[in-house]
Structure 1
Amino acid sequence: MAGQDSLLRKYLVVAAVVTAYWVISISLVFINKYLLSSQDVKLDAPFFVTWFQCVVTVLFLFLIDGFSRLFPRLFAFSPMKIDKKISREVLPLSVVFVLMISMNNLCLQYVGVSFYYIGRSLTTVFNVIMSYLILREYTSVKAIICCIVIIVGFAMGVDQESVTGSLSIPGVVFGVLASLFTSLNAIYTKKVLPSVDQNIWKLTLYNNFNAVFLFLPLMLFNGEFARIPVFPKVLDPYFWGLMMLGGLFGLGIGYVTGLQIQVTSPLTHNISGTAKAAAQTVVAVMWYHEFKTALWWISNAVVLIGSGLYTWVRGREMKEQHERTPGPQYELLPTTARGERSQKDSDSEATSSV
């Protein structure tokens, strides 16, 4: 009986964590969409929105650190501090990180939430390409076939988006660039993690701290410093509440992603992410009362199937590789939301939300 109760509790924990991941991830996309291109907000300042979320992330990491110092028995957290040397070592990754989240948000600004997943679906393909070009890691024929399936689904999706009259060329371009920089972010993260003692929270701190300064010239170049003071909702508590909520969800997605991997596995996490993307697409179509053709839905299914098969194939291959050569094995896996990236170790799992 005790064993059954323990198993039930385990299932309940898994269900709660997966639900939290879905809710936070989907909510973050809808919040950012509202802030970036809503007719109610009308704030053409994508870099400012992302900059503010980075500021919120840094402040809350220090707040959590302070809380853990006051109540060490109740809450354990890695000490947060800024070291100039480490900050410089992380800087190349931070540049890629800024480009990644900028392209993500610019894509979301120009395309609908329903197309957002398709628009950024080439991340897995770029992971394979960049892993070979930078890390000289080879990919199996089966995994490459899965990538071809994803490319076919992406092309179908772009074509059907034009059929419905909602295609945005800048949105597609930003989506492809977002996929590229997301894959580069995963690769550079793998290289930089030793500088922060493999601590994902420290890496999140340094990435967002550097990003706070890196976004300033982008905001200046885009003319956002002139727009913000005359923004009609600059004193609106509801607007700033959503901005704060977006920052908190951006930080929270990192925690729930890591928690989901911890209570399940990296493979299950990516299957959950793929299913979440499908649910997000359906919710967006219903929420915005959009009409989509049958081929449009098929294109989404093709991308989801290709992504799911790639995750399964690479999981099987890494398991076989681990059995042949025991030791840490890492895998660059697909990303979602603000830039989640999971990295698998055969003995322990770590994840980063950036």
Structure 2
Amino acid sequence: MVTASSLGLTERQAVILTVGFYMITALIMVSCNKWALNTIELPWLLLWCQMMIAVILLKVTHSTGMLKMPEIRIDVSKALAPLIAINVLGLGVNTLCLVYVDTSFYQIARGLVLPFTVIFAYALLGQPSSSLVLASCFTVFCGFYTGISTEVNVSQRGVFFGIFSSITTSLHAIVIKKSLPAVNNSSLDLVYYNNVLSMLVTTPIVFLSGETSKVMATLETEGFQAFHSFLAAAFVTGIFGFLVNLAGFMQISKTSPTTHMISGAVRGVLQTLLGYFAFGDIITTGRLSGIVLILSGGAIYTYAKDKEMQTTTKPTYIPMTQQDVDGNEDNERKA
């Protein structure tokens, strides 16, 4: 197994590189998704194509001896059922949210990740929150409310899918953490299982959603020419979907769900700037105020967790890989 020490990196440097890799790939992924959906709205087919390309890439790396993929086992698949369910739901609502809102508003529509993370940490992991953490959640909620209440033509569907996306994002990091033991704490095995099983689950959804009928109707009226841009976008998003999937699992296994959430917030700022410069999105005062409040809430939360680390005598972080067992105290206390 390749470790940070074998590459001449300290644990802190490995964490920084992992988080940076996740943020860059995720940012490109959102941009490519918006490009594809602007071409033709086939969100579930787009997701299916991404998963298929990811599986093909993983198979290629296996056949060339670069990486070793596991055999799909029924018992492991059953153990990973919660992860697959939350992954398919999360990918679906993320993409549907992007269909109904522009890139800059996407950050606001999905702005409730932090409050839901704190709620689920208490409900599922029994982790209480300090008053400062609760204050950070209230600040984030104010940012979310400010952002959506000041929009003149806000998409109700976009907001709905954004809230649903916040819930699934909050649960996803926790479920990944709980799912790693089923694959012997191997992030790569989890990526492979996740893509193969998610693709199988998504296949009937593509048909049930009516997107296949839409494809047939478009072929009859406009011909195959209409799908050139979509297929090109699907291919690009498939490659980066594979990378962001791998990067996300690497980040959570290397750091913690909290770090995953914070880096996601920083990524949201970059997405807002990208939406403004690349897609011509309008940044209103209310939208900007909402984003600032959401990020301020994230900053307060980070400060609160830092204070807790300084006063905690016993680490509460549960390592998810053997590399984490040998990590520094900073990683151990980032639960």
TM interval, shorter chain, is 0.7 to 0.9
The structure 2 residue matched to 1:329, chosen from 313, 318, 326, is 318
Tell me the matched-pair count. 315
Structure 2: which 5+ runs fail to align?
1-7
Pick the aligned partner of 2:159 from 153, 161, 172: 172
Aligned to 2:5: none
Partner of 1:292: 283
What amino acid sits opposite 1:151 in the alignment? F
| Contact 1:330 1:346 (8 Å CA) reproduced | yes
CA deviation profile, 1:285-329 (whole Å, cap 9, x unmatched): 2333333332321211111111233234225434643xx224743
Residues 228, 320 of structure 1: alpha-carbon distance in 2 compared, 3 angstrom cutoff: farther
Give, in angstroms, the shift of residue 266 of structure 1: 8.3
SS of the equivalent of 2:151 reads helix
Q: Quote the residue 1:314 is aligned against.
A: 305
Aligned to 1:195: 182
Does residue 250 (structure 1) correspond to residue 241 (structure 2)? The answer is: yes
CA offset at residue 45 of structure 1? 2.2
Aligned partner of 1:114 in structure 2 is 104
Q: In the aligned structure 1, how far is the partner of 2:242 from the partner of 2:296?
A: 29
CA contact (8 A) 2:177 2:252 kept: no
In the superposition, relative to structure 1, how do residues 303 and 49 fare at CA in structure 2: closer, same or farther (>3 Å)? same
Structure with the higher helix share, 1 or 2: 2
- Paired with 1:221 and 1:34, the residues of 2 have a C-alpha distance of 24
Match of 2:28 in 1: 27
Give 1:128-277 correspondences, 5 Å limit: 128-162=118-152, 165=153, 167-231=154-218, 232=222, 234=224, 236-256=227-247, 272-277=263-268
Matched, 1:60 2:57: yes
- Check the 8 A contact 1:123/1:179 in 2, yes or no: yes
Deviates more, 1:261-270 or 1:112-121: 261-270
User: Could you tell me how far 1:170 is from its partner in structure 2?
Assistant: 0.3
Please give the TM-score of this superposition, normalised by the length of structure 2. Answer: 0.81
Give the deviation of 1:16 after TM superposition: 7.9
What's the offset of the Cα at 1:179?
A: 0.8
**Cα shift at 1:255:** 4.1
Of 39, 46, 49, which residue of structure 1 is paired with 2:46?
Answer: 49
Q: TM-score, normalised by structure 1?
A: 0.77
| Cα pair distance change 1:99/1:268, threshold 3 Å | closer
Question: In terms of mean alpha carbon deviation, does 90-99 or 238-247 score higher?
Answer: 238-247
Of residues 187-196 and 142-151 in structure 1, the stretch that sits farther from structure 2 once superposed is 187-196
Note the alpha carbon deviations across 1:146-183, whole angstroms, 9 max, x for none: 11110000000001223xx3x10000000001111122
SS in 2 for 1:198: coil
- 1:80 Cα offset (Å): 3.0
Counterpart code for 2:43: P
SS at match of 2:80: helix
Deviation at 1:346, TM superposition (A): 6.9
Paired amino acid for 1:113 = T
Q: 1:267 to 1:192 in 2, by over 3 A?
A: closer
Question: In the alignment, is the contact (CA less than 8 A) between 1:90 and 1:195 conserved in 2?
Answer: yes
Provide the C-alpha distance between the structure 1 equivalents of 2:180 and 2:256, rounded to a whole number of angstroms: 20
Query: Are the aligned partners of 1:122 and 1:176 in contact in 2 as well (CA < 8 Å)?
Result: yes
Q: Percent identity?
A: 29
Question: C-alpha offsets along residues 82-106 of structure 1, whole Å, 9 cap, x if unaligned?
Answer: 1122112111221111111111111
RMSD: 3.4
Unpaired segments of 5 or more residues in structure 1? 1-6, 70-74, 332-343
Partner of 1:338: none
CA contact (8 A) 2:50 2:238 kept: yes
Following the alignment from structure 1 to structure 2, what is the Cα–Cα distance between the partners of residues 15 and 192?
Answer: 24
